[in-house]
Amino acid sequence: MAIFVDEHVCNRCGTAEEPMCVRDCPGDLMFIKANDKASITDNRECWDCAACVKVCPTQAIHMQLPTSLVVRGVTLKGRALKHKTTWSIRLRDGEEKTYETPSTGKPPFTPSL
Amino acid sequence: MTTVHAGRVELDCDLLIIGGGAAGCVAAVEAKELDPSLRVIVMEKAHVYRSGCLAAGISALNAYLTPGETAESFLRYAIRETVGVVRDDLTLSMAHELNAQVKRVEDWGLPIPRDEQGHPLKRGRASIKIFGERIKPILGKRAEASGAQILNRINATGLAMRDGRVVGAYGFGVRDGRFYEVRAKCVLIATGGAAGIYRPSNPGMAAHRMWYSPFNTGAGLAMGIRAGAEMTSFEFRFIPLRIKDAIAPTGEIAQWLGAKQINSLGEPYLEKYYEHLGGKRMLTQDRLYATLMECRAGRGPCYLDLRGVNPRKLDGTITSYLSMAPSAAMIMSDEAYYARAGGEMAPVEITGGEPHVVGGHGLSGFWIDEQRRTTLPGLWAAGDVAGGTPKKYASGAWAEAVIAIRDMVEQARARPAAVIEPEEAKTEEARVYAPADAPGGVPAREVEERLQKVMDEYAGGIGVQYGYAEGGLRLARLHLSRLAHELAALSAESPYELMHCHEVIDRVDVAETLVAHMTHRKETRWHCYQERLDFPERDDARYMLFVNSVKGPDGTIRVIERPIVRAEIDVVLPALEDGAMIRGARTRADDPS
Ligand SMILES: Cc1cc2nc3c(=O)[nH]c(=O)nc-3n(C[C@H](O)[C@H](O)[C@H](O)COP(=O)(O)OP(=O)(O)OC[C@H]3O[C@@H](n4cnc5c(N)ncnc54)[C@H](O)[C@@H]3O)c2cc1C
């Protein structure tokens, strides 16, 4: 799988401490390069869980499907807020679709199907 | 670059929990709630906020007693699904705990939608909907706040043994390279199951787009095998039926959108495999098997039929996938977009994934008693690493963790501080860091590829459509034993690479035990999961039992058969004809008349 860091946006969480993507990756794949920007050790190792994508406070990280899975040009960004996560999926022709998922606390009412 | 081998750390505690995933986090909280004075340590290879299977989130809890269901009805369902081979005692005691543990995690902040009567929304008879994107941070933060000491980024490698009792564990820092020796009165193993034993269904750059977490590499199973713990039912592999490429669950679409499984002729095909059984008798494994049979009969690939589904309804499904399998959301979103643009929703192709050793879905893992004690005194097991109870999933892992911890807390109170043999610690330290002293040796990835190739081709991987026979298993045994040379030549230049070395060392140990179990069961009980091409029939007279094993100090694996102890429960096993009828369906469908 593949995640990409926009180096113009990443500010290593504005902290000297461990940046959040480096903290949260379940495969220990994220690290900070000499230029103070986050990077992934090896995209082949990525499970595609999007933990780093969501936790990034500047939305500098996006996910892409590898070419070997054929779907190209679709990208995903997300942002974990207090009670929900917001998502945006950019489709092949550039159109952006946005979604929200409740994340903590009392959920919104959902009628049974 | 960090030195691979950088000093050592010694720690003492009452309870050591290895693996801070679903089971481990709840275990830590339970221990501190039962007795705040106990010193509890969690040893976790990643960070408890996003480690293990739950890293991406989940959208359902698949072990729950919905209204009208009881522990007994749950057991009946489990017995049917495993065609009789199941631990009734474990399943019942787990089932009794399920709803209380779900309520507990809900109180910690997990959003669970409820209906007008206050019941969680039902997805299946034992499954409820949740909004679980943040489930792992919720569990991890709670574990952190419990007062337990969390050791993140420590990869456990071995159990410390003294006079036949487990007295702690060893590990190393995947960032700092330090050797850890943790002494404990009681140890819980909760490291999950094993992915990466078989060649994954996706290639190259997408190889880790697999169903199970590729970072759960069977460490706990391997540690137990090396220490001589009894293991059960490894031959019950779990193979998910998934949306192709994304390897995301089909249930989301099948259950929520009511999409049927259809073949490439557009015919719903499941029914014809079980119509004679009065309808809904399809076992989980048979949904996969039937899909495979359709393909073999020339009617593949198979799909979930989304034609006619209102693309707007898909938004709910996409949202669900975002909370669990983000890549599936990307693919679905793309498809839905084209549907909106005027085209018809493309049917979603489905296929089997790669086999895994995972006790939470299947039966494989440590052989445990009702208190979740393993056969090694001082060691308990919970979650995907524990065997005998299928259909456990996340909520069942919580239930097992709580059952284990109650017993551990009792025992720890009465026990003296643990002592580790310095000689043993030294031997383990040398074993752990051997790859650091072998510059220019074999990289872990190459050995992993070799392992996966051997298992795929000779031991029923996706490449051979899951079936296997003695001839291939013999070659699997041979080639696995030869891997010992490669393992001895592994090379690591950083603590991170050292982790990869131990992942593959552990996987090979798991694979050897797996093949021993596959070799022993000379029947076919669970299609695809356990598909003996040389013994295609189910043989209740001979194999209605557990296949267990213990690896001796000399490295030989001794297989043990254990009887099934049925609870006092009326239960109808799937008729023997179930399997026969599947073959019957194929014959009928192939018959040109
Ligand atoms: C893709 C996917 C979707 C799922 N969806 C659902 C669902 O919708 N509903 C449901 O109920 N269940 C679901 N499950 C099942 C559920 O996630 C598991 O059953 C559950 O997480 C098992 O808990 P566990 O604690 O045994 O394993 P995990 O939660 O995986 O925890 C294992 C922990 O051990 C750590 N570890 C591993 N090796 C070592 C080592 N050497 N040293 C230290 N730590 C180590 C790992 O990093 C991890 O934190 C899903 C599973 C997967 C893979």
Distance B359 CA to ligand 1 centre (A): 11
Query: How far does residue B394's CA lie from ligand 1's centre (Å)?
Result: 7
**Residue B511 and residue B237: Cα distance in Å, rounded?**
11
The answer to whether the Cβ–Cβ distance between A2 and B122 falls below 8 Å is no
- Predicted local confidence at residue B341, as pLDDT: 63
- The SS3 of residue B17 is strand
Domains of chain B: 241-352+579-586 (3.90.700.10)
Q: Whose CA is nearest to atom 20 of ligand 1?
A: B394
Which atom of ligand 1 lies closest to the CA of B248? 1
Q: Name which of B121, B138, B214 is nearest A110 (Cβ-Cβ).
A: B121
* Contact residues, chain B, for A95 at CB < 8 Å: 337
What pLDDT, on a 0 to 100 scale, did the predictor assign at position B505? Answer: 98
Q: Mean pLDDT over residues A47-68, rounded?
A: 93
Q: Would an 8 Å CB–CB cutoff place A19 in contact with chain B?
A: no
Taking the CA of residue B46 as reference, the ligand 1 atom at the shortest distance is 47
Nearest residue of A to residue B244 by CA position? A69
Binary contact (A104, B331; C-beta < 8 A): no
CA-based nearest residue to B231, from B511, B434, B585? B511
Round to whole Å and give the CA distance between B46 and B553: 31
From ligand 1's centre to the CA of B211, what distance in Å? Answer: 11
Q: Which amino acid is at A56?
A: C
pLDDT at B345: 67
Top mutation candidate among B30, B50, B53 for ligand 1, by most atoms within 8 Å of CB? B53
Burial class of residue B182 (count of CB atoms within 10 Å of its CB; 0-12, 13-18, 19+)? buried
Q: How many CB pairs under 8 A join A and B?
A: 162
CA B68-B69-B75 angle, to 5 degrees, is: 160
Q: At what angle do helices B135-145 and B88-107 cross, to 10 degrees?
A: 90
* Confidence at residue A2, expressed as pLDDT on a 0 to 100 scale: 87
Task: Give A4's strand partners.
Answer: A62
Residue with the two structure tokens 């998934």? B242
Backbone angles phi, psi at A61, to 5 degrees: -110, 130
- Report the alpha-carbon distance of residue A94 to residue A75 in Å, rounded: 9
**Confidence band (pLDDT; 50, 70, 90) for A1?**
low
Parts of chain B with a pLDDT under 70: 1-2, 275-281, 311, 337-345, 572-593
DSSP B233-272: -TTS-B--EEETTTTEESHHHHHHS-PPEE-TTS-B-HHH
Alpha carbons B143 and B398: distance in angstroms, whole number? 13
pLDDT digits (tens, 9 = 90+) for B128-178: 999 999 999 999 999 999 999 999 999 999 999 999 999 999 999 999 999
Q: What is the pLDDT of residue B584?
A: 38
Residue A107 CA to ligand 1 center (angstroms) comes to 24
- Domain ranges within chain A, ordered by starting residue: 2-102
At B343 the pLDDT is 65
**pLDDT in the model for residue B161:** 98
Q: How many CB atoms neighbour CB A88 within 10 A?
A: 15
CA of B393 to the centre of ligand 1 (A): 8
DSSP SS3 for B478: helix
Return the CATH fold of A2-102: Alpha-Beta Plaits (3.30.70)
Chain B residues with CB under 8 Å of A44 CB are 204-205, 207-208
Are the C-beta atoms of B387 and B223 separated by less than 8 Å?
Answer: no
pLDDT of residue B591: 35
- Pull the structure tokens for residue B76: 């009946």
Nearest-neighbour CA in chain A from B270: distance (Å): 23
More confident residue, B101 or A92: B101
So what's the pLDDT on residue B578? 53
Interface of A with B in 20-59 (CB under 8 A): 23-28, 41, 43-51, 53-55
Q: What is the structure's pLDDT at A36?
A: 95
